[in-house]
């Protein structure tokens, strides 16, 4: 049974993380719920007199929610479009492989990361997902967090400006891309929760890597693609999950000096240049081979987070199903192949 004192210290850490999220929202910074929590918790845990502990106990249910959320993108409408996007989607495979190994070479040879940390730092997956996998396989999670967060930060900051100034499209506005809690159909919500628990349990029993993420994701894909469930996980819950993981991630910087943090951020910019170059090649190939709008291709082959890229897609009225399918395939590829490859390093 969890000690009440420890639970209070964990809840205080989450509260400090949430304060960082509010600060980032006020300053209009990208990914406020995740990066804000990382920012304040990584500072707070350096003060020994603040009674806080990493809220790791909340990571299991948070992983289940992330898995369910990833699967919720597989709606019947998106599956109906797959044959149109088939050859473009196929290019995601060499794109992901090339981006990963170019980045891995850069981090291993130039920045002197160990091979496993270099691999998870270069994989174009989500920050949370890569930290989860890296932690399970004994990689340096503080470096992975810094690198992946920096990559996402560079992409989220640069893409809107590229779209606005090159394509002359107004991107002002703020639209919600998830379902608010008040609009959730409760039977769907409880059904999803049961699926998440069952998926996590079965995946753990089968010794699947990242079981609490992959198991719920697979069952969620089946449920949403067959039309059994329509309500996606609520927006407020997803934000809370970001705060939890941001707080947990913030604690991974314990013992990491400010000099190393700055050095890693500067080094990550080199990887960002590699990403931009590889992405430009594939965007050009798809643009000249298929009849898709260039903005949709740009967003489909941008190695950012699915939620952030979809938000930009909504603001510029891009082809959201096309973009979503590409990011789902990339994430599904990464989540299933990355753990297997990493174990061999």
Instruction: Outline where DSSP puts E strands in the chain.
Output: none
Backbone angles phi, psi at 197, to 5 degrees: -65, -45
Tens-level pLDDT at each residue, the chain (345 residues)? 668 888 899 999 999 999 999 998 888 776 688 888 888 998 898 887 888 888 888 988 988 988 888 788 777 777 777 788 888 989 999 999 899 899 999 999 988 888 888 888 888 877 777 877 787 777 888 788 888 877 877 777 677 677 777 776 655 444 444 577 777 778 888 999 999 999 999 999 988 766 888 889 889 989 988 888 888 888 888 888 889 988 888 887 777 777 877 887 788 888 889 988 999 999 999 999 887 888 888 888 988 766 667 667 766 667 777 887 888 788 778 877 777 777 776
Dihedral, 196, 37, 129, 82 alpha carbons, nearest 10? 80
Tokens of 185: 């159909």
pLDDT at 40: 93
Cα–Cα–Cα angle for 123, 148, 344, rounded to 5 degrees: 35
Tokens of 274: 């590699």
SS3 of residue 47 by DSSP: coil
H-run or E-run covering 26: helix 4-26
pLDDT at 157: 67
* Contact yes or no for 130/337 (Cβ under 8 A): no
pLDDT at 306: 65
Helix axes 127-136, 59-71, angle to 10 degrees: 130
Q: Where are the domains of the chain?
A: 63-244+255-344
pLDDT at 175: 43
Contacts by 2-8, CB closer than 8 A, 24 or more apart: 2/57, 6/53
pLDDT at 194: 94
pLDDT at 333: 82
pLDDT at 308: 64
Q: What residues contact residue 94 under an 8 Å CB cut-off, 6+ apart?
A: none
Residue appearing with tokens 């998870």: 120
pLDDT at 169: 66
């Amino acid at each position: 049974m969890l000690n009440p004192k420890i639970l209070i210290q964990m809840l205080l850490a989450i509260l400090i993380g949430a304060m960082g999220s509010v600060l980032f929202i006020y300053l209009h910074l990208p990914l406020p719920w995740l990066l804000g929590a990382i920012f304040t918790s990584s500072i707070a845990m350096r003060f020994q007199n603040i009674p806080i502990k990493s809220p790791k106990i909340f990571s299991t249910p948070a992983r289940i929610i992330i898995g369910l959320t990833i699967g919720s993108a597989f709606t019947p409408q998106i599956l109906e479009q797959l044959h149109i996007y088939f050859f473009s989607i196929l290019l995601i495979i060499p794109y992901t492989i090339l981006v990963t190994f170019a980045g891995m070479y850069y981090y291993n040879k130039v920045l002197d990361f160990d091979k496993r940390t270099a691999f998870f730092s270069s994989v174009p997956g989500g920050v949370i997902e890569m930290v989860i996998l890296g932690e399970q396989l004994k990689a340096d999670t503080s470096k992975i967090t810094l690198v992946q967060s920096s990559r996402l930060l560079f992409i989220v900051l640069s893409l809107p400006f590229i779209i606005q100034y090159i394509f002359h499209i107004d991107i002002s506005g703020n639209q919600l891309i998830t379902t608010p809690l008040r609009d959730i159909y409760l039977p769907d919500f409880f059904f999803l929760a049961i699926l998440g628990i069952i998926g996590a349990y079965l995946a753990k029993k089968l010794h699947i890597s990242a079981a609490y993420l992959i198991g719920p994701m697979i069952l969620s894909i089946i449920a949403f693609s067959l039309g059994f469930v329509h309500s996606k996980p609520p927006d407020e819950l997803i934000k809370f999950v970001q705060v939890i993981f941001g707080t947990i991630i913030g604690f991974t910087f314990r013992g990491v000096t400010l000099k190393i943090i700055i050095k890693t951020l500067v080094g990550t910019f080199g990887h960002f240049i590699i990403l931009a170059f590889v992405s430009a090649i594939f965007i050009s190939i798809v643009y000249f081979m298929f009849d898709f709008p260039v903005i949709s291709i740009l967003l489909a082959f941008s190695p950012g987070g699915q939620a952030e890229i979809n938000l930009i897609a909504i603001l510029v009225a891009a082809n959201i199903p096309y973009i979503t399918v590409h990011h789902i395939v990339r994430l599904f590829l990464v989540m299933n192949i990355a753990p297997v490859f990493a174990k061999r390093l």
